[in-house]
Structure 1
């Protein structure tokens, strides 16, 4: 699969149906709630800085907003924080511009309607907008943003690791011995791609943020004391299901070997190192959450497990393998019955950053 195609198709399942992202994002909702105190603290700091907000305007962006009820959560938290802080200190709130970003194929229909309603219900929100495009590219003018938020997005890579698809190395080899021998190569390729992408993300946002601008982001990762001895949970789970489909003749091995889930779960240590090496931001706070309870609640039955997989990955699965979702669903349900919930990540990382 061409890397450009992967970028174009990398979006959550659209619509409002049973397998849509809008109906299968409770885990993401829990993480957004954990980001609330970080966003509130940042807003208080921004509103207290006259140099940052002159002449009384604030531009807030959510990058990778996706669709459904979570799409407006972070910007809504920020708007409420602006109102509360300005009321407490008895100062007029700034004019607020809210912008949402995701890839062009994202389902923006319901998002736009909700965004308009948010603006109409808040007199201080004077501009709202949608910016389609990859956050691994420039999206906004220099020095125009005050706060960038991103939740559950930055573990998605811009494309599959170049070293793997250029050298025709499968991400998950069906032969156990070959998989064990290539294990380190695969992990290093994914880590290298994440480092490249996350570094690029930081550089671009540093250009777009005002002086002393802020970012609050969260992503799926792992604690630094957990060694990366296995693939991404999502990649491994999808690959295990697909490998059964290969053995049953539903999909061919060559097509399977050329499929890469563009996801990497970095350790908190890796993230700290990349931020420090890139140099545009200082870390104000980094939190590491254990999402086990959220995962267990969200994936407690075969149907919930399968619906989440479809919400996250159906577009790229269909693009690469064709119409195989009926077989994928039945295989995934068997996988859950035999293995239980194996999708849970090691940790969720939430980070508050200040432009240096």
Structure 2
């Protein structure tokens, strides 16, 4: 099933909503700030020929809550500061926010009012529902594209696995370990296809010399980690425990695929260079352990973060099992008899990848 049909963060403003459980994502957006400011300085520079009195900025995968406007607000503030510094009138700014149709756009639209109240620069806004694995904007219309914490989500689960009914996370540990390289390769192949398509589409929509600043959850290197990608791996462990208890059907569990892949920096660089539409201006990788440990520091935070990210996917596949899922997750946290959760958190070679790209002429 294509991820665009099921992937969205938990809506609203409640305790388990994405809006209330996205501190980790906010910390990562803050790390993108300097790159966005550098891009704006180039776009608005005194010798820049890219702008003709206007700048169009798109945030792809904006989600909802306090983080939805973070990247575009950084860009708008940078535009204002740059124009004051150069003593030139600011361009008109058009801000376009994109996410999948099931995103909580009601909350997003209300928050856009604050941007539209800006007088200097003039800010116009719009919402574009749809998958960023399809065309979203007219050709040569965008100056800056941002995407934060979203490109690790795939367009769909790998067909090599779904077509051949190969479970991602077998309840038998020996089988799971033997199958892991096959599973990871299938996910890496799907990511390569999706990310290549993403670059091709954005190259059509950006003006010549336009810029992109993207971040995604990945891994430190091409060395295959001994455990699965952190959050889906934890969810799979919890669901596996529920299978053992008879709370969910094993066949149903075996057909559950989370469309997420954490690429290495080498994977990302190789795909960008092979696709050929962009040059890499800067690429950073850092260990998000501190922010992640804060987000998962108590049983309540742990469960709420999992629900904010995965509840819609879980409920769509298994039905309303969240009460049992919460109970099992809390038990998983409090007992953790074999240290599997702690091992998952310490041995997964996770990294946050941030890349600044320029469209080639």
TM-score by length of 2: 0.95
Pair 1:149–1:313, CA change in 2 (3 A): same
TM-score by length of 1: 0.96
Cα distance in 2 for partners of 1:288, 1:348 equals 5
CA contact (8 A) 2:11 2:17 kept: yes
Shift of 1:303: 0.6
Unaligned 5+ runs, structure 2: none
- Aligned position for 1:28: 25
State which drifts further: 43-52 or 96-105: 43-52
| 2:332 is the alignment partner of 1:335 | yes
| 2:202 is the alignment partner of 1:202 | no
Shift of 1:51: 2.1
CA contact (8 A) 1:246 1:256 kept: yes
Q: 1:121 aligns with which of 81, 96, 118?
A: 118
CA contact (8 A) 1:173 1:179 kept: yes
Listed one character per residue, the Cα deviations across residues 102-143 of structure 1 (whole Å, up to 9, x for unaligned) are: 000000111101112211133423420000000000000000
Listed one character per residue, the Cα deviations across residues 121-172 of structure 1 (whole Å, up to 9, x for unaligned) are: 3342342000000000000000000000010000011110110000000001
Pair 1:235–1:195, CA change in 2 (3 A): same
| 2:82 is the alignment partner of 1:52 | no
| 3-state DSSP of counterpart to 1:106 | coil
Shift of 1:316: 0.6
Shift of 1:293: 1.0
CA contact (8 A) 2:57 2:94 kept: yes
Moved over 3 A (4+): 225-229, 339-345
| 3-state DSSP of counterpart to 2:330 | helix
| 3-state DSSP of counterpart to 2:137 | coil
Listed one character per residue, the Cα deviations across residues 223-264 of structure 1 (whole Å, up to 9, x for unaligned) are: 126534432111211111000000101100000000011111
CA contact (8 A) 1:153 1:219 kept: yes
Cα distance in 2 for partners of 1:212, 1:336 equals 48
| 2:271 is the alignment partner of 1:267 | no
State which drifts further: 331-340 or 274-283: 331-340
Pair 1:334–1:122, CA change in 2 (3 A): farther
Pair 1:146–1:290, CA change in 2 (3 A): same
- Aligned position for 1:78: 75
Cα distance in 2 for partners of 1:142, 1:229 equals 43
| 3-state DSSP of counterpart to 1:172 | coil
Cα distance in 1 for partners of 2:210, 2:194 equals 21
